[in-house]
A and B are shown apart, each in its own frame.
Chain A
Amino acid sequence: MGDVILTMKGIDKSFPGVHALDHVDLEVRKGEVHALMGENGAGKSTLMKVLTGIYSKDAGTITFEGREVEFTNPREAQDAGIVIVHQELNMLGHLTVAQNIFIGREFMKGRLIDDKKMNEEARKLFDQLGIDIDPTETMSRLTVGKQQMCEIAKAISHEAKVIIFDEPSAALTEAEIDELFKIIRDLRDRQLGIVYISHRMDEIKVITDRVTVMRDGGYVGTLITKDCTKEDIINMMVGRVIYEDPKTESQVAEDAPVVLKVEHLNAGRMVQDVSFELRKGEILGFSGLMGAGRTETMRALFGADPKQSGDIYVNGEKVDIKTPQDAVKHGIGYLSEDRKRFGIVVDKTVAENSTMASLENYMKGIFIDKKKENEAAQKYVDLLKTKTPGVDQLVVNLSGGNQQKVVIAKWLVRNCDILIFDEPTRGIDVGAKSEIYHLMNELVAEGKSIIMVSSEMTEILRMSDRIIIMCEGRKTGELGIEEATQERIMHAATLRN
C-alpha cells in the first residue's frame, strides 16, 4: 500500500425523511483494494454517488490527491480520475467495442470519425491490460464478463487513478471472476486506488486489502482484511440493537396443514432449484441481499414471469400457474415490491383499485354494480384504517402507506388465502409500518398464510415464524424463528454454493 490518494471525511447526506449518510469516513490508498461493505440500504451506493458528484453532500470533505475537491457531476469526477464501473453496464449494444470505449471523444479525421485509429487505440489498451477482445466486435455479442472488461478498459483510458467497482462479480461466471481479479491485481500493482463493493464474503478475503463497513448510513469501522475473519465483518454489518421485540417462537400450530408447496422452481439465473413450503397461518420470511432472487422467485411462482420448471401445490393439489390469472384463481395474491409500477393504478379511484382483482363479483348483468363496489371498498377502508377522504378518491392523492393498504385491500376483496407480500413496508413511514405489521398478524390469525419478502433484518426477525434465506438465485438457508439470529441470516445470505 502506498500513499493516501482519496479521503472522504465526515460525509453527511439527508433526503426528506431519511438520514442516508451520517458522518461517514473512507480512506483509499494507492495500490490497495479497499472493500466497502454493508447490508442493503447501508449507504454504500449513496456514498459513491456523493463521491462522483451525482449527489451533493450536506457536510464533510473529500480530498483527492492532496486537494479538496467537490465534483458536481460524474463527468468532472471522471476527468479528475475517479471512475465507477457499474453493476449494470452502460454500454451501447449496437456499437463496436472501440466505439463504446471512445464514445464522446471519438478520434476524428477532418469531419469524419476515424474508426481505424479508434480500433488501434483500443487494441493497445487491451494489450496493456492483457485482455483478449477484438475492438471491432459488436458490444452486444460479448458476454457480460467481457463487456465489463471493456468498461474497465474505458476507465483506464480515462487515466483513472481511483476505480470503483460496484458489485462487479454479481453477473460473472467463476472463470470470468478469476480474470477480473487478475486485472484488478494488475491495476493495484500499478498503484491505482480501488474501491470494491461486494456482498460476497469469500471474494473480500481473496481480493481486498482493507474493509470499511457501513451500517444504516453510518460508518462502523475499517479493518485490515487479512487480520479479520468473516464473522468479524458480519458482526460489524449487523451489530445493531433491535428495538422492536423480535418474535421468539413460531405462532403456527403444530399440525397446521401445508397450503403452498413449491418444488424445484427454476426461472432463469435468479431462481435456481428453489423449494419450500408455506403452512396455514404462517408468516414465512424471505431474507437475502439485493439480487438474491427473492422477487424473481415470487414473480415466477405467481406467473408474472415465465418459469422453466418446477411444481407448485396449493392445498396439496398440483396446480399449473402460467399467468397471474391462474395464480389468482388458486387464491394467491401478490403485493409487488414496486407499488407504483405493479401494484396500483394511480389515476383510478380507491374503489376501482380495490375491486381490480375481483370485478366479476361486483357486476349486475353487464353493468358494474357501483354501489356494491363502493360498499366493498369502504369496508376495507374502515378495516385497514386507510386514510382517504372517500372511496372515489384517486389513489395518486394518497400517501405511500395508504396506497399500500389499497393494494392489500385488492387481495382481501378477492379473498385470497395465500398472500405474497414483497417488501410490504418499503418507502412508507413508521406509523403506517406498524399498522401493516399489525394487520399481517391479524390476517394469519384468521387463517391466511403470508410469504413476506423483506430486506430489512428487523422486519424479518419481528414478523416471521420461519425464515428462508436466498443468495444468488438459490435457497441457502432455512431457520425457525427460535434459532434465527442476524448473524446466522447474514451468514447464509452471503453463502455462495
Chain B
Amino acid sequence: MDKIRNNAIVKKIGFNSLVLLVIMILLYILFAILVPIVNAKANTTFVSWSRIVSALNYAYFLGFLSLGVTFVIATGGIDFSIGPVMFCAALISGYQLTMKGWPLVVCLLLSVLVGAMFGVFNGLLVSFGGLPSFITSMASMMIAKGVGSVWTKTQSVSWPQSAAENGAYRNLVRINVGGVDIPTGLIILLVGAIICSIILNKTKIGRYILCIGSNREAVRLSGVNTKKWETLAYIICGLMAGIAAIFYVGAYTTVQPGLGDTFNNDAIAGCVMGGTSMAGGVASIGGTLIGVLIISLLQEGILAMGKNINYQYIITGLIVLVVVYTDLRSRRRRS
C-alpha cells in the first residue's frame, strides 16, 4: 500500500483522488449490472451514450458550483447561497435576453456578473462584517431566490432552443460537428478545473486562502490582509455560480423562480467528497471534480433504475457523513 502511495505519478495526482476515481468506475460498473435487473420492465441499459450525456449535463453546472465553493470551504467558511444564486443569475440574464432583447453575449456576461455580485456581498459581510458565513449565506440564499422571482415577476424563464435565434450559447455545452456530438461542456469544465487548480496551488490568492483556513490569526500576524483574501474566495465562488448558470440553461434551458437550494447540497457534497476539509486549509480541485462526477453518476443511475430521485439524496447524505467522519478521525489522530 505504501509503495503505491509513494509512487511519483500517484503522488502527483493525489492518492485520494485516485481512490475516488476507482470508486467512480466501480459505481459505473455497478449501475451497468443493476439497472437492467432492477428496472427490467423498461427494457433499458445503463451503458449508452445518452446516459453519459445526461449525467454530464448535470455535472457541468454542478462542477462549476462545486469548484467555486471549494475556495470558500478552503478558508474554513461555507456558502449555502450558490444554488439559488445560480438560478437568480440565470433568471435575470434570461429575462433580459428573452423579454428585453439584450444581446446574447451581454446576457452571458450579466449572468457571471450577478453571481460575482452575490460573492462580493457575502465576502464583505463575512470578512469585514465578521458575520458567520453559515448565517450570511443562508440570508443571501433567500435574497437570491427573492430577487430572481421579483425580476421575472414570478415567471419561469425559458432560454432559446439550439435552433432558435440566440441559441448559440448551447454550443458551450454541446456542439454538433458533422453529426457527431462533441461535449464542449466537459472540455470547458476541465479547463475551468485546471485554472482553479492553478489559482489554488500556484498563486498568492490560493496560498493565502489555504493558510487562512489553517490558521487565520497566524496569517494576520504575518502582516497579511486576511480580510481581502477571504473576500476574494467568496467572489470567486459567486463568479463560478454565475458561470454555472450558463451551463444549467445550456443543458436544460428552463429556470424556475424560487428554487435552486438542492444544488447547494450536491455542490458542497462533491467538494467534501473530493477531500476538501470542512475545517478549512485543505482543498483538492481534482477531488472536487471527481466528487461531482460521482454525484452526477449516482443521480443518473438511480433515475435509470426507475427510482425516485430522493434516493440519491439519501445516498449522498450518507456518503458525506462517512467522508467528514473519516476526515475528523484522521485530524484527531494527527493532533
Give me the interface of A with B, judged by CB distance under 8 Å.
302, 304, 323-325, 327-329, 334, 336, 341-348, 352, 356-357, 359-360, 363, 366-368, 370, 396, 410, 414
Contact = CB atoms under 8 A, between A and B. Distances in A.
A334 B281 CA distance: 23
A185 B257 CA distance: 73
B6 interface: no
Nearest to A343: B218
30 contacts: A304-B220, A304-B221, A324-B221, A324-B223, A325-B223, A327-B223, A329-B223, A341-B217, A341-B218, A343-B221, A345-B214, A345-B219, A346-B214, A347-B281, A348-B211, A352-B207, A356-B211, A356-B222, A357-B223, A359-B204, A359-B208, A360-B204, A363-B204, A366-B203, A367-B198, A367-B202, A367-B203, A368-B203, A370-B202, A414-B223
Contacts of B204: 359-360, 363, 366, 368
B65 to A, nearest CB: 25
Residue of A329, A341, A342 most packed against chain B (CB within 10 A): A342
Contact of A344 (B207, B215, B224): B215
Nearest to B223: A328
B310 interface: no
A329 B223 CA distance: 8
Contacts of B281: 345, 347-348
Nearest to B227: A323
B215 A341 contact: yes
A302 B215 CA distance: 18
Nearest to A335: B221
Nearest to B205: A366
Contacts of A323: 220, 223, 225
B153 interface: no
Nearest to B228: A325
B101 to A, nearest CB: 38
B304 interface: no
A302 B223 CA distance: 10
Contacts of A325: 223-225
B56 interface: no
Nearest to B215: A345
A357 B225 CA distance: 11
B11 to A, nearest CB: 12
B207 A336 contact: no
Nearest to A329: B223
Contacts of A363: 204
B222 A410 contact: yes
Contacts of B225: 323, 325
Contacts of A342: 217-218, 221
A409 to B, nearest CB: 12
Interface of B: 198, 202-204, 207-208, 210-211, 214-215, 217-225, 281-282, 334
Contacts, number: 73
Nearest to A357: B222
Contact of A324 (B202, B208, B211, B222): B222
Contacts of B215: 341, 344-346
Given A304-B221, A344-B218, A345-B219, 7 more contacts: A328-B222, A343-B218, A345-B214, A346-B214, A360-B204, A396-B334, A410-B222
A130 to B, nearest CB: 44
A55 B223 CA distance: 40
Contacts of B207: 352, 359, 368
A445 B227 CA distance: 37
A447 B200 CA distance: 38
Nearest to B212: A345
Contacts of B222: 324, 328, 356-357, 410
A327 B222 CA distance: 10
A356 to B, nearest CB: 4
A2 to B, nearest CB: 49
A347 B282 contact: yes
A347 B218 contact: no
A357 B210 CA distance: 15
A338 to B, nearest CB: 9
A148 B54 CA distance: 67
Contacts of A367: 198, 202-203
A359 B218 CA distance: 15
Contacts of B214: 345-348
A323 B224 CA distance: 9
Given A341-B215, A345-B215, A363-B204, A336 B221 contact: yes
Nearest to A367: B202
A359 B224 CA distance: 9
A362 to B, nearest CB: 9
Residue of A327, A345, A346, A410 most packed against chain B (CB within 10 A): A345
A357 B211 contact: no
B39 to A, nearest CB: 46
A465 B63 CA distance: 61
B219 A368 contact: no
Contacts of B219: 345, 356
B201 to A, nearest CB: 9
A160 to B, nearest CB: 37
A16 to B, nearest CB: 17
A336 B220 CA distance: 12
B280 to A, nearest CB: 10
Contacts of B282: 347
Which 6 A/B pairs are nearest by Cβ-Cβ distance?
A328-B223, A357-B222, A356-B222, A345-B215, A345-B214, A325-B223
Nearest to A410: B222
Residue of A341, A343, A346, A356 most packed against chain B (CB within 10 A): A356
A376 to B, nearest CB: 14
A323 B202 CA distance: 27
A321 to B, nearest CB: 11
Contacts of B208: 359
Nearest to A304: B221
Given A347-B281, A352-B211, A324 B220 contact: yes
Contacts of A414: 223
